[in-house]
Each structure stands twice: as C-alpha cells, then as structure tokens.
Structure 1
C-alpha cells in the first residue's frame, strides 16, 4: 500500500513542477509587455496643461463692441451669444439692475426736451423716464434707447431714469436724475450777448460821430482864417 502511494506521488511530480514553472515565469513578465503599446500612446493631462489652456482661452477672448451710451439694436448678452465675445461686469436678470447715468438735458425742436443717458452694467428690459413736480409724467422706453424726447417739461423740473428687468428696478441716485436748467442758461447767455453787442455798437457809433465832428470843426476853422487875411502888397487908393 505504501509502495502504491509512493508510485502515484512520483507520477504527479512532473505536473507539479510544470505548474510552478509557469507561475514563476508569469511573475517575471514585465508589466509594460502585458499592456502593450497602448499605454505609451495615451496622452497624459496634467493640471498645469489645463491651466495653460484656460489662460490661453481667456487671453484670446475679446470684449464685445458695445457702447453703453449709444443706442444699439442688440444687448451685450445677445452680441456675446452671437460672436463669443465677453461682457465683463454685467449683472444678469436675476438681480435688479444698477442705476443709469444721465449725461445731460437739452432743448429740442418744437419746445420739447431731450434727455440722454448711459446704460448700466446690468441686464435691462426697459427704461422708465419720470418727470417730477408740476405736470408730472412717466414714459417707458425699450432697452435699446439712450435718448428720450419729452414734451411739456418746464424749467426747474427734475427728470429721473430708471432701469428695469424681471428682478426689479434701479433706485434713484444723483447720477440717474437731473434738473432741467439748460434752457435758462442758454437764455442768459443770449441776453448777455445781445447787451454786449449793443454796448459795442453804441461805442463805435459815438467814436465815429466824434471823429466826424472834429474833422468838420477843423475844416471850418481853416476856412475862416483864409477870409481874414488881406493882400499885403495892396494899398487902398493906389493903382
């Protein structure tokens, strides 16, 4: 019985050695040979390369050709969506807009008044122009407007411009309001010019009259002296 078991063990030894050799040879295989050349061809992305791409993209971007003080058919956001430019500092429509900046009020045609403003750095859907005081009035204009022509505005009335969007409206400020006094200033300048011109005209007229009077006086004095002189060689009674 013992001899039989020893014979079976001897028969299994070659199989055991074969398995051990395959296991050892498998462990000795380098890792890079198992994965092949695909690992070497796979590009590696590092944080530095990502930052470089982002910085390059920001540098290559350009600001939108958008003037806050000039009436434009498109908003800055529409231009950015169409061309890929940037609108820096612009707030979106989920927060109330900032106040516009009123640049001036001047007389217009037919007694009307023209008010000009610049848009804020915000998303704006409409503008509200309010004339305060006597005969107060309110007008609403599109977001593309930068000027408004108003009628029945009197000297001393205060005009304010508010920007509006879906989140609310801007508050009044010193920059968004102005008092209509330009027509009075223009009238004062006109009166001053007329008075100055009248004074200059009177001075010129007076100087001209003085010069003419002196010339006339000199001519009259010369003619009287010539009549008073006699002929010294003439003696009465001699021929």
Structure 2
C-alpha cells in the first residue's frame, strides 16, 4: 500500500508532466488589449480649408469690373481690398499720367480709384491762372480714363479727379497759381504748340528774312543813286611843287 507521502509525490509529478507539455498562456484583460481602429473614438471632421484667392481687381485699370460683381462670378467668393464705410464720402483718387496730344489739341487723363465705395467720377479743369473750373460729365465707377478736348496750344492747365457716392464727394485741394500737391487728385500740364503751327511760323520767318535780304540788295544796287545816298569822295591830289 502506498503511503500518503508517496501519493502526494506521485500526484505532483503527474501534474508537473501535464503542465510542462502544454504552453503557458496568460489571460489578457480588456485593459491590457490595445484599442482597435474601430474602437478608437471618432475624431471630429474638420471642414476642408479653402485657399484664399484674391479677386482680379486693379484699382488703376480702365473699365474695371466692381469687386462685388467679381465675387459673384467664381465658385468661391474671392477677396477684395478693404474699403471705407459707404456712409462716408470717398477718399481722394490718385491722378496718374496725363498724356498730351499736341497736334490734336487734347489730353488723356488717367487715375486710380480710392479705397472707398464710388458711384461716379468727374473732372475739374482750371486754365490760364485759375478762376472757375470747368466741370466734365459724370463717369460711372468703372472709368479710370477720360479725355480733355479743345485745349489751347501753349496753354497751362490744372486737372483734378473727383469721386462721389451717396454720402458726398472727395475733397479737392485748393488750386492757386496753377499749383497742386504731388501724388494727389490734381495735376499740372501744359499744351505745347501744334507742330503745324511751328512749321507755319518757321516758314513765315524764313519768308520775312528773304524779303528783307532782297530789299537790302535792291537798295544797295538799284536805289542808291535815286535816293541820293552820299558816295565816298576821293581824296584830293596833293599840290605839285
């Protein structure tokens, strides 16, 4: 008969053999398991950021489409330059180049729009030292160029650009003595004489000089004796001894 110690030793050996033949496995708790992708918390979806696009707007371009209309054309509203409040009068436009056409007797004025809402423009023209300016016809907000016609050759002028909206019109600096501040809404220019006028004047001067020369020659050769011009007397011969 086996004793109690022998049975315990045999039972322990059998258990060790069985456990040694099978690999050890550890039970993993839910806390130790990594979160699967489907178990991860859903991240909030951010809206796709669209690239900011500036409008094709040039405040110095003639017949420039207003910025509000440009924003309605594209699929995405483009960005326009900042403007002042429509409840305020416009700022002063900036006068650009004044191109003079002397032969035709007119000048072309170019300007840039202010950073303000504008409904219309017009030109003011001073000539011959000031006085009351001539006001041109109203031009819509797309205009950046206008013509001044029937200008006098050799005349001096000051031209100013005025912008207006429902709240008022831009300020015009004081014009005195045909002077105006640089880089502002006004500018000074002169009309040179027409080339045809210069040619006629040159021809007239040439003809006048030719007539004077002919008159001098005629007086010297033909009319000298008739008019009794004194002749140079010969020196008297010395007395003979």
Using the size of structure 1 for normalisation, the TM-score is 0.50
Which has more helix, going by share of residues? Answer: 1
